[in-house]
Structure formats: structure tokens, C-alpha cells
Amino acid sequence: MTSGAPLPRRVPDPLTRGQKVRITRLRYRLLDWYAVHGRDLPWRHDPANTFERICVEVLLQRTRAETVAKVYPTFFGRLRSWADIAAAPVEELEEHFKPIGLWQRRARSMKALSTFAAERGGQFPDTVDGLAHVPAVGQYVANAILVFQHGENRPLLDVNMARVIERYVRPRRLADIRFDPWLQEAAHWLVRGDKPVDINWAVLDFASAICTARNPRCSACPVARRCSSRQS
């Protein structure tokens, strides 16, 4: 039996003390920015509950928050619980999600997730290992569940949050954001403190309004003077 090619050895890439200081400074500046410029989205206000906020995070993947906001009133006006979604025909879910795109995939994912939750009284596992066995739950949705239902300091790490961190500090080394150890540690450090929900929303709003993928508005950025990307 011949052995395959050896797996690449993961090079240690810890977050340095100086980087932690920079990210802590970024956290406070973004919270200040968010208090003035944060988006007015329906799931950020009462009476939005944990059920709605987790559902929204499922829908937000690969689409814009403003697009999800347009279907929010109709969807949650008709389907008010995990049990309601679990009982709804897939075809109905698809109709709700057509304005968002990828409606068939979203409908199947939402149906599977809701069935799991409805059978357990709306409660999800409170560990990463436990959530790994929940249908339609990857790293991003798992973190959303841990943030909104269990109150943990978890980052809603997507390409937008990654972009803000990497521009401000330095680029990651691995292509997949889910597996880059430095980026994961940096994102977890960013959401430390007593406002994990606010800082997650702040970063995502900042990425949408200021630190955009193309043509970022550096002149309006509150951290431009310390941004590594701007300096280089």
C-alpha cells in the first residue's frame, strides 16, 4: 500500500499582543461609529426575538441585509415560530424567498433547521460540537445561534468582517476564512466584551457602508489613519 502525499503542516500563526491592541481599538471605534450610523433593520428592534434573528442570519448568507428586510414583514407576519415554518410547504417557503435569490436552497435549509428546532422546543445545542449535527448549520449559523440564543461572544465572520479585519491589521494566509487560524482568532478577539451583538452588527454595517469591497470610502473611515491597507 502506497501512502499519499503528506498533508501540509499548519504553521502556527497566533495573534500578537500588538495586533490584539489594534483590534481592541478597532472594536471601540466601530461601536462609536455604529451608535450614529448603524442601519435601521427590523430584526434589530423589539419585538424581534431569538427565533427571528437566527432565521435572518440563515437568509443573510450571500445576499444583502436590505434585500432580506424587504421580505421580513411578510415572512414573519405569516410564519411566527419554528413550528410554523416546519409545517409550511416547501413551495410556500420558496415563494417567500424568491426575491432573495437561491430560493430553493434557502427553503430546504430553513425547513430542515426549523424542523430540528420545533422538535426541541426552539432550543439548539450550546456547543460547537453539538451544533455540528444540526441540519443546515455551518460555522456562520452556528456562531449566530451561540450569539443570539446562548449569549456567547462569537463572530458572525463572513467575507465582510474578514475584509475589515484584514485591511485594518493584515491579510490572512489561508483562502477559506473558516479555517484560517489567525483570522478566526482575530475575529473572536474583535467581539470580546459585553456587546457581542452590537459589535457584530457594527462591523457588518461598516463593511457595507464604508469598508466596501470596491471603492472603499476611506475619507469617511474613522480608523483610516491606523489602517494597514491605507498606509501601504
Q: Where are the domains of the chain?
A: 17-231
Q: Cell triple for residue 84? A: 410554523
Q: Is the CB of residue 156 less than 8 Å from the CB of residue 177?
A: no
Whole-model pTM over 0.85: yes
Q: Taking all residues of the chain, what is their mean pLDDT, rounded to a whole number?
A: 94
Weakest mean pLDDT among 3-12, 142-151, 170-179, 189-198: 3-12
Mean pLDDT (whole number) for 70-94: 97
Q: Is the pLDDT of residue 160 over 60?
A: yes
Confidence of residue 231 (pLDDT cuts 50, 70, 90): confident
Mean pLDDT, to the nearest integer, of 168-174? 97
Euclidean distance between CA atoms 216 and 207, whole angstroms: 9
Residue 226 confidence (pLDDT) above 50: yes
- CATH number 3.40.120.10 is the correct assignment for the domain at 17-231: no
Would you say residue 2 has pLDDT above 50?
no
Q: What is the pLDDT of residues 208-219, one digit of tens each?
A: 999 999 999 999
- ∠ CA 12-132-188, nearest 5°, is 45
Q: What is the pLDDT of residue 29?
A: 98
- How many angstroms separate the CA atoms of 66 and 46, rounded? 18
70 pLDDT higher than 60: yes
Rounded percentage of the chain residues whose pLDDT exceeds 70 = 95
Using CA atoms, how far apart are residues 43 and 143, in angstroms rounded to an integer? Answer: 17
Q: What's the confidence (pLDDT) of residue 56?
A: 97
Q: What is the mean pLDDT of residues 97-109?
A: 96
Q: What is the pLDDT of residue 11?
A: 64
- Helix or strand or coil: residue 209? helix
Largest CA distance in the chain: 64
Residue 24 is predicted with a pLDDT of 98
